[in-house]
């Protein structure tokens, strides 16, 4: 009986410790681009190694604050966008060209397509 109580107490302690370190609503999940920007982001593939997202932003459209994991992006059109990064609030403009492949570190940002053409990008994010 004592062994069972000790075992149960240990299990409860482990579960309690896990609850302390595991956030109830992870900010990462709240900023998931597929959820936050469902009209512009489509999940193409996900496994334990990568997450592939297709992003299409119409000219003049804006994506709300969201996050990306580090990864590679492939531009499928020419377009011009502005990024506002968080928490610094720095705004940068980028002219992307069809066929350009670039590396991107993890980021939390807002995006606006400030050009005259829609953007189309495939992002392969590392987990």
Tens-digit pLDDT profile for residues 24-37: 445 557 999 999 99
Residue 65 and residue 32 in contact, taking contact as beta carbons nearer than 8 Å: no
pLDDT at 40 over 80: yes
pLDDT at 18 over 90: no
Q: In the predicted model, what is the mean pLDDT of the chain?
A: 85
Tell me the CA end-to-end span of the chain in Å, nearest whole number.
44
Laid out side by side, the sheet with 79-85 consists of: 62-68, 107-113, 79-85, 91-96
Which domains are present in the chain?
26-126 (2.60.120.10)
């Amino acid at each position: 009986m004592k062994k069972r109580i000790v075992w149960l107490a240990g299990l409860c302690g482990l579960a309690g410790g896990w609850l302390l370190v595991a956030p109830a609503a992870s900010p990462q999940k709240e900023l998931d681009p597929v959820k936050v920007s469902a009209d512009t982001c489509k999940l193409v593939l996900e496994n334990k190694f990568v997450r592939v997202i297709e992003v299409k932003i119409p000219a003049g459209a804006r994506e709300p604050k969201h996050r990306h994991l580090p990864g590679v992006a492939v531009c499928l059109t020419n377009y011009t966008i502005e990024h506002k990064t968080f928490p610094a609030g720095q705004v940068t403009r980028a002219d992307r060209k069809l066929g350009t492949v670039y590396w991107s570190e993890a980021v939390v940002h807002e995006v606006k397509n400030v050009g005259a053409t829609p953007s189309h990008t495939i992002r392969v994010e590392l987990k």
